[in-house]
Amino acid sequence: MMTRRSRHTLARISTLVALSALLLSAAPTEAHQPFRVDGTISTFENRVLVVKTREGESFTFRLQESTTVRREKNRVSQTELRPGRRVDVHIMADSLYDQDPFVLSVELAP
């Protein structure tokens, strides 16, 4: 048989569990996700990279000075990004069509 004190404690615990569940469900579910865009470089000027995919879509990326560019796992200069070269661009964004994605790295095809 439950005492008055144990019923009160159980009620408090139940309330805390319900509040915790409510707070967790109210947390934002939208978070940056990794995406990869593979295609051919259309242009690269002033750290702005435009890549055209096989499907014909063009994506524009603003590279940071620290953005890693690699070819066959070796780091290379951003000056290697020239029109006509095949690349995989790895980004973090809310969606593939985010207006200002964070560019993690660019991989040049061998």
Q: Is residue 97 part of a domain?
A: yes
Looking up residue 88, the CATH number of its domain turns out to be 2.40.50.320
Report the number of distinct structural domains present in the chain: 1
Q: Could you read off the pLDDT tens digit of each residue along the chain, which spans 110 residues?
A: 667 777 777 777 777 666 666 555 554 545 689 999 999 999 999 999 999 999 999 999 999 988 999 999 999 999 999 999 999 999 999 998 988 899 999 999 98
What residues does 76 pair with on adjacent strands? 69
Q: Which one, of 94, 102, 17, lies nearest residue 64 by Cα? A: 102
CB 102 within 8 A of CB 108: no
Q: Is residue 89 part of a domain?
A: yes
What does the angle CA 93 – CA 61 – CA 101 come to, to the nearest 5 degrees?
15
Please give the model's pTM, rounded to 2 decimal places: 0.70
Q: Is residue 88 part of a domain?
A: yes
Per the structure, the complete domain to which residue 42 belongs is given by 33-108
Q: Is residue 22 part of a domain?
A: no
Q: Is residue 26 part of a domain?
A: no
